[in-house]
């Protein structure tokens, strides 16, 4: 993982639990696997504890790590770090994606409730106008009562958002090709195809993985299905939306957007999205940051403890999961 990451992941109490269940050099952090020193470590390693910045574990790395039996990832998706050869070798893999899902879901909940009240539009106007705003006249439809929230993707994060929305007087509808009617009923949500969800929802939140099949899932046609004044929230991946078509809609002012991710990852300085009043733009901050990283570290060490005790992982990643993983 990145060399500065362990200090942010593992507080003292978690470090003690780590040392209690594993033989580990706390000062050794591999940032590459190609040097003689790294290969010497890999030769005896039974478990890799990985995180952001981990080099790819592929056939070449596996060839010099004959004892490797498990990989515990102290972050979300392992797709960019682990080659399919890891599963071919029978290595068991764990992820802390569940721990990273919570802050994303919390961010999404906050933005849904703020969007329902048109908080961002009103806040900008108030600062610019510097005088009283007639909220009843200018914003007669604001609020969080009986509005429809569309969740695109019943993923880990999508399901956490659904859970967090339960106390509120909102109608939740989900679109996910892998979600059946019976499971939707168990979740307490309506089930709709994507087009119908976009037509019906006041707020749409994206929680689908970025795959070739989901690239520009929200394209020009589907953006056109959204109701006037609706809000689109994206905390997933920028590639899910046709950025050029979205920009046109936002410049026209027909819909609103809360974007924590875009395509490209950082928009060019001349993008109008930086200044549009109907856009909230944040720099990929929904996931674990600051003290929230400690949750990832604790989760990963819990998983390592399970492995050391001969127990199955709480959050295993299988080869089949790769096809549906971001």
Residue 320 CB: number of other CB atoms within 10 A? 9
- Give yes or no for a contact between 293 and 74, defined as CB atoms under 8 angstroms apart: no
- 8 labelled catalytic: no
Candidate list 249, 263, 295, 303, residue with the active-site label: 263
- Give yes or no for a contact between 312 and 305, defined as CB atoms under 8 angstroms apart: no
C-alpha 241 chain-centroid distance: 15
Tokens representing 93 are 């893999």
- Give yes or no for a contact between 172 and 188, defined as CB atoms under 8 angstroms apart: yes
Distance in angstroms (rounded) separating the CA atoms of residues 144 and 110: 12
Tell me the CA distances in angstroms from 252 to 80, 96, 220, 230, 272, one per residue in order.
Answer: 37, 40, 14, 13, 11
C-alpha 232 chain-centroid distance: 16
DSSP state of 254: S
- 136 labelled catalytic: no
- 306 labelled catalytic: no
Residue 9 CB: number of other CB atoms within 10 A? 27
Distance in angstroms (rounded) separating the CA atoms of residues 31 and 27: 13
Distance in angstroms (rounded) separating the CA atoms of residues 110 and 8: 25
Candidate list 17, 69, 284, 306, residue with the active-site label: 284
Candidate list 159, 237, 295, 303, residue with the active-site label: 237
Tokens representing 322 are 């790769």
Residues catalogued as catalytic:
237, 263, 284
């Amino acid at each position: 993982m990145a060399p500065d990451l362990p200090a942010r992941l593992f507080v003292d109490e978690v470090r003690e639990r780590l040392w209690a269940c594993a033989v580990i050099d706390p000062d050794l952090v591999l940032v590459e696997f190609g040097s003689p020193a790294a290969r010497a470590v890999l030769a005896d390693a039974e478990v890799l504890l990985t995180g952001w910045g981990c080099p790819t574990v592929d056939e070449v790395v596996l060839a010099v790590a004959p004892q490797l039996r498990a990989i515990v990832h102290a972050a979300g998706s392992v797709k960019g770090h682990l080659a399919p050869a890891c599963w071919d070798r029978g290595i068991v893999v764990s992820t802390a994606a569940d721990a990273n899902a919570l802050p994303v879901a919390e961010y999404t909940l906050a933005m849904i409730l703020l969007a329902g009240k048109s908080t961002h539009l009103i806040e900008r106007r108030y600062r610019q106008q510097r005088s009283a705003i007639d909220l009843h006249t200018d914003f007669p439809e604001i609020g969080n009562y009986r509005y429809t929230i569309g969740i695109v993707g019943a993923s880990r994060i999508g399901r956490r958002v659904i859970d967090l929305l339960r106390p509120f007087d909102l109608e939740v509808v989900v679109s996910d090709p892998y979600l059946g009617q019976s499971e939707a009923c168990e979740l307490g949500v309506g089930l709709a195809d994507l087009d119908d969800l976009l037509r019906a929802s006041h707020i749409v939140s994206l929680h689908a993985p970025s795959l070739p099949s989901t690239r520009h899932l929200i394209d020009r046609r589907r953006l056109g299905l959204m109701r006037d004044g609706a809000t689109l929230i994206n905390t997933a991946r920028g590639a899910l939306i046709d950025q050029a078509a979205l920009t046109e809609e936002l410049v026209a002012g027909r819909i609103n957007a809360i974007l924590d991710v875009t395509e490209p990852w950082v928009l060019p300085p001349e993008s109008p999205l930086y200044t549009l009043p109907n856009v909230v733009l944040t720099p990929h901050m929904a996931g674990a940051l600051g003290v929230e990283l400690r949750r990832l570290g604790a989760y990963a060490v819990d998983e390592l403890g399970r492995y050391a005790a001969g127990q199955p992982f709480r959050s295993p990643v299988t080869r089949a999961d790769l096809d549906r993983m971001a």
